[in-house]
Amino acid sequence: MDKLKTLQADVSVTPENTRLITPYLMYQGFAAHFDDPVPIARAYAIEALLTGHIKHIYPSDLIAGSVRGRLLTDHPVSDAMLDRANSILQSYGANRFITNADHYAPDYATFLADGVGGTLDRISQSVQQHQKDLDAAKKLTFLKAAGISMRAFGTMIRQYGEAAEALVARTTDGEQQKNLRRMATACKKLATDRPDSFYEAVQLVWLVHTAFLYEGRYAMALGRLDQYLYPFYAKDMAAGSLTREEAVELIACTLCKIGEQRYFGGDDVVNIAIAGRKPDGSGGLNDLSYIILEAVGRCNIPGPNLSARIYEDIPDKFLDACLQVIGTGLGYPALMNDEINIPALHRHGYALEDCRDYCMVGCIENFIPGKQPPWSDGRYNTPKFIELALNNGRCMLTNVQMGPETGEAADISSMESFMEKLRQQMDFGAAEYMARFRNENDRYNKVNYTQPFLSCFCQSCIERGLDINDGGSLYPSVHGAGCMGIATVADSLAAIETVVFHEKAVSLTTLRDALAANFAGYEALHAKLLHAPKYGNNLDLADKYAIWFVDVQDEIFSRYRTRDGGAIYTAIASNVSNIPAGREIAATPDGRLSGQPISDAASPAHGMDKKGPTAVIQSMAKPDYTKVSCGTVLNQKYSPSMFRDPEKRARLLALIKFYFNQGGQEIQINSVSRAVLADAMAQPENHRNLVVRVSGFSAYFTCLDKHVQEDILERTEHG
């Protein structure tokens, strides 16, 4: 624990100059190879980046690999030179999130089995295999680029070993010297050979992750860390060369380095999946699952976005351990239901064993590690289409024609007719959404935008001789349509059915006019709408529209494919996009005011779940989440006493099991009281280290935008 505190103090020291040297380093690689094919020039740019940065090691480090070497601080490079370097880099271009650059779970299991040397051997074998192919030139160019980048990575590892060795002479602390010598020995070995010990395996994984950070990639998952590291852990424990406490400390001191990114260039979201079923269907919970859970609890930082995969017969002991870590205020692990997520993936034609081996990237996005290109997603603002259906396709805020002319409100005579108009608006909105996505996603030449280093961590890319985005991966790319505002939609439709068509209290035209006026002059109607049935109270009248929401969005987006034939998943998640999404929408029939946030992710609208957490769970479990292949985010907030009291915690555990047994897909919990959150907003200087669950990720509360803080504050707190 002392080592962890010392390391956290080390990484929190922020240099004055946080500009990056990486553009200049990459420019050097490009400049030496302007006349080479672009994939080869890119590989040499990666080489210059990985081998050219300063290998910074903290004296308290147990594991090598730091993003501090990206900083310009120790390099005499002028602003004019940086401008030139950036100009050259921009001309070559680079993939980004929407063009499948990151949010990826590498094939760490294969890489740990092969190491750098074994990977280079596979590249050489593939070169021989493809010499006489019709498209040999393309494949051989890719393989040459992959080889250049992998050899550069080996050099980077060796350089970290040399830096550790040099630091030994500059420190007088005996324990630090011992740790640094072990680091140096491991890095020199790993520069060419595969790991044999738990320590070496952790070291290699972290250096791979560090290399991705130098490339500028974000939200690169560590995946099923407890599964691919377990053979090394079990071997060392059996040999007596590792203790459990040493393993916890090593994992904690490694994962706390995720927080280093915050000081040198912004937060990162690094998803780690623990437990879950194995590819053969058996339970994957092991000792390392508990160790990782304990380690992230010790770190007490937002960075490791921990996800616990729960299966039907998983021991209550593990769930209770998860709740205890959640109860510290971290808000993770998020709890994922294998019995829903596995069939949600399997319906797309993936092998069942691969579906069982899923992890998450980014926040909650289901992903098959090492077998499909990087993830991409977007936001589909579903509540907006209710507004358009009521107003003949016109935006109430701007009067712009945003959707098809489906008729004026006066012409809609029944709920069924209104639902038909709404479906037409949603169909048009989805077509526009997909056109925008396809135009962006397929914008770049796949050869010139090759990603040779990343492709080495995707199964079959080396064997096929093709880039990860150019047919190299086993499965095609997928895209997630984040279908927002399920509660806003369900509550609005329930209100229309109740107030307009059942009670006949007002006409649809009057409702439209009230929404356009933001209820000014329509206060009585506003009150009536607010008291209509609401999602999250186990009321079938509202809940049936949540079921419809899931079914129809899946039906709409299932018509589409990505550029290489992959599926369009739906998600019921919004991150924090429910806030800007609300600014795009006029008042809604549920009583929400114009410009206010729409409902958060898959959760009930704030304050509308009046009947307690059991009713929330009963409502939430009604839709068929096997149709939501990306995932859902149910945000819940419970008072801290629920986690401190073993009896209350047992009740919460039983509630979660009930939700999952009924078909719930995911749940994540905040355990920070409303009083503490309010005080943190008023006196942020007293709460700098307060971590909360936002929506799919955790963050320091005082660093969040005020609107996000207010959105979290408004969540219903259950006791």
DSSP assigned state of 458: S
Task: Give the CA-trace dihedral at 521, 527, 532, 536, to 10 degrees.
Answer: 120
pLDDT attached to residue 505: 97
pLDDT at 78: 87
The ranges of the chain with pLDDT < 50 are: none
pLDDT at 717: 66
Where are the chain's structural domains? 1-92+103-217, 377-604
Residue 692 to residue 680: CA distance in whole angstroms:
11
Confidence (pLDDT) at 679: 78
Cα–Cα separations (whole angstroms), residue 70 to 13, 57, 65, 66, 205: 15, 13, 11, 9, 19
Q: What is the pLDDT of residue 39?
A: 96
Q: How many helices (H) and strands (E) does the chain have?
A: 30, 14
Q: What is the DSSP letter of 359?
A: E
pLDDT of residue 523: 97
CB atoms within 10 A of CB 309: 27
CA distance 38 to 30: 9
471 and 155 in contact (C-beta within 8 Å)?
Answer: no
Give the span between the Cα atoms of 31 and 13, in whole angstroms.
34
Please state whether 612 falls in left (phi above 0), alpha (psi between -120 and 50) or beta.
left
Please give, one letter per residue, the 3-state secondary structure of 215-265.
CCCCCCCCECHHHHCHHHHHHHHHHCCCCHHHHHHHHHHHHHHHHHHHHCC
What is the predicted pLDDT for the residue at 675?
A: 77
pTM assigned to the model: 0.94
Task: Give the Cα separation of 625 and 632 in Å (integer).
Answer: 8
As a three-state string, the secondary structure of 423-453 is HHHHHHHHHHHHHHHHHHHCCCCCCCCCCHH
Pick from 602, 589, 581: nearest CA to 707: 581
Asked if 583 contacts 595 with a C-beta cutoff of 8 angstroms, the reply is yes
pLDDT at 696: 62
